[in-house]
């Protein structure tokens, strides 16, 4: 049942305020300003976190690396499941291994989990299907409460994965003595505000649909982001290519000069994900480099960012302002809507893109 939407993907994008609220209710219950997990995990003795996943779930892990390192001061390694075990990585003592999977059945992720059994101290998973193989074979499974995801392109599972991973990073920060009760309460308040913030991001639907009409004419699209926006750029590019079949690539903005700038001309839309955060000025100078070569900049930022740098851009999409750590969850919405409307403009099969399966159970 598409609940009045044209596609499951549209329905699942629209559901995000609601499903995120559900995840928040479980991990940050209102009466407490601490993170509640469905079982015991103590990060105070953990020396290293290894995260493994595929596709969108992998980009959720790359995002979480920033959180675990910055907020919890925990060294993190992130890997693609299909590469991880063939490399035969050493798993030092006091490693916590974390596997992220919407379906909980992805063959490579499951094989990576089995590789870590007997080696890692603790095996955690972040899953959408609590009775899945990955959930069953881990010491503790953390459900994301996204509800069934039908569209092949992962949307609500991604933002719910991020929400749970952020809660876990905050728990790690508290266990390791890097977060005061006051700071934790500040995060909790900001996270509880997310459903409303996501709803206002969804109000940009029409502006994004218009931008997507133009993007649908492109052959290639570049996505740029710095810091927490870099993994989101990767996710935005994946979403666009899988459902619209437009070639899209993502780079950390700072890498522009090291190669991809050679591609920029008047036919190249460049999506710049840049809230007005500590790295904003650097992103703007990267944006100027694109504009100087007549690249078409699609800027996604907040009002302050757009006021400061939005004059010469091809189009600007305005997001609400949130605490910096929360920006990947918010900016996922325009990235998803851009891919969705571009695919609709091109007339591709949004929910069942060619050559793809919802759950990849072969290696």
In whole angstroms, what is the distance from residue 37 CA to residue 44 CA? Answer: 15
Cβ 26 to ligand M6R, closest distance in Å? 19
Which tokens go with 6?
Answer: 């044209």
Q: Point out which span in 99-107, 168-176, 254-262, 308-316 binds ligand M6R (CB under 6 A).
A: 99-107
Nearer to ligand M6R, 142 or 322 (CB): 142
Sheet of 95-101: strand order equals 76-80, 48-53, 95-101, 122-127, 140-143
In whole angstroms, what is the distance from residue 317 CA to residue 211 CA? Answer: 9
Q: Single out the residue of 24, 54, 113, 240 in contact with ligand M6R (rule: CB under 6 A).
A: 54
Q: Tell me how long the chain is.
A: 363
Contacts to ligand M6R from residues 61-80, by CB under 6 A: none
Number of Cβ within a 10 Å radius of residue 259: 9
Cβ 228 to ligand M6R, closest distance in Å? 19
Does 153 sit near ligand M6R (CB under 6 A)?
yes
Q: Point out which span in 53-61, 167-175, 219-227, 269-277 binds ligand M6R (CB under 6 A).
A: 53-61
Torsion of CA 54, 58, 60, 66, to 10 degrees: 170
User: Is residue 177 left, alpha or beta, with left meaning phi > 0 and alpha meaning psi from -120 to 50?
Assistant: left
Q: Is 358 a catalytic residue?
A: yes
Q: Single out the residue of 9, 24, 49, 57 in contact with ligand M6R (rule: CB under 6 A).
A: 57
Residue sitting closest to ligand M6R (CB): 55
Does 360 sit near ligand M6R (CB under 6 A)?
yes
Q: Single out the residue of 82, 95, 109, 159 in contact with ligand M6R (rule: CB under 6 A).
A: 109
Nearer to ligand M6R, 80 or 91 (CB): 80
In whole angstroms, what is the distance from residue 246 CA to residue 346 CA? Answer: 10
Contacts to ligand M6R from residues 298-317, by CB under 6 A: none
Judged by DSSP in three states, 298 sits in strand
Does 101 sit near ligand M6R (CB under 6 A)?
yes
Q: Single out the residue of 106, 159, 163, 336 in contact with ligand M6R (rule: CB under 6 A).
A: 106
Cα angle vertex 143, ends 24, 42, to 5°?
Answer: 85
B/e letters for 285-303, b = 16+ CB within 10 Å, e = fewer, are ebbebbbeeebbbbbbbbe
Cβ 281 to ligand M6R, closest distance in Å? 32
Does 55 sit near ligand M6R (CB under 6 A)?
yes
- Which residues are catalytic, by number? 358
Positions in the binding site for ligand M6R (CB under 6 A): 54-57, 101-103, 106, 109, 152-154, 242, 356, 359-360
């Amino acid at each position: 049942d598409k609940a009045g939407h044209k596609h499951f993907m549209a329905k699942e994008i629209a559901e995000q305020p609601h499903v995120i609220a559900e995840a928040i209710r479980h991990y940050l219950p209102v009466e407490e300003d601490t993170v509640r997990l469905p079982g015991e995990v103590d990060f105070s003795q953990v020396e290293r976190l290894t995260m493994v996943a595929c596709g969108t779930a992998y980009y959720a892990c790359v995002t979480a690396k920033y959180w675990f390192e910055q907020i919890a001061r925990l060294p993190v390694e992130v890997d693609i499941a299909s590469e991880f075990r063939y490399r035969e990585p050493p798993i030092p003592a006091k490693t916590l291994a974390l596997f992220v999977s919407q379906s909980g059945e992805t063959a490579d992720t499951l094989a990576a989990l089995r590789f870590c059994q007997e080696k890692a101290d603790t095996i955690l998973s972040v899953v959408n299907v609590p009775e899945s193989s990955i959930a069953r074979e881990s010491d503790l499974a953390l459900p994301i409460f996204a509800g069934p995801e039908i569209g092949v392109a992962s949307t609500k599972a991604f933002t719910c994965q991020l929400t749970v991973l952020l809660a876990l990073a905050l728990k790690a920060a508290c266990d390791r003595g890097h977060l005061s009760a006051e700071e934790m309460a500040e995060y909790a308040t900001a996270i509880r505000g997310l459903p409303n913030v996501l709803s206002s991001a969804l109000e940009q639907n029409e502006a994004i649909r218009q931008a997507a009409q133009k993007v649908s004419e492109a052959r290639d699209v570049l996505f740029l982001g710095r810091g927490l926006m870099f993994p989101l750029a990767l996710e935005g590019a994946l979403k666009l290519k899988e459902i619209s079949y437009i070639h899209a690539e993502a780079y950390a903005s700072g890498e522009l000069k090291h190669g991809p700038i050679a591609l920029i001309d008047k036919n190249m839309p460049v999506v710049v994900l840049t809230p007005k955060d500590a790295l904003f000025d650097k992103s703007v100078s990267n944006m100027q480099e694109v504009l100087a070569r007549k690249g078409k900049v699609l800027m996604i930022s907040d009002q302050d960012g757009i006021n400061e740098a939005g004059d010469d851009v091809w189009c600007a999409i305005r997001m609400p302002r949130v605490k910096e750590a929360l920006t990947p969850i918010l900016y996922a919405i325009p990235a998803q809507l851009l891919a969705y409307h571009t695919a609709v403009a091109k007339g591709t099969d949004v929910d069942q893109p060619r050559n793809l399966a919802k759950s990849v159970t072969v290696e």
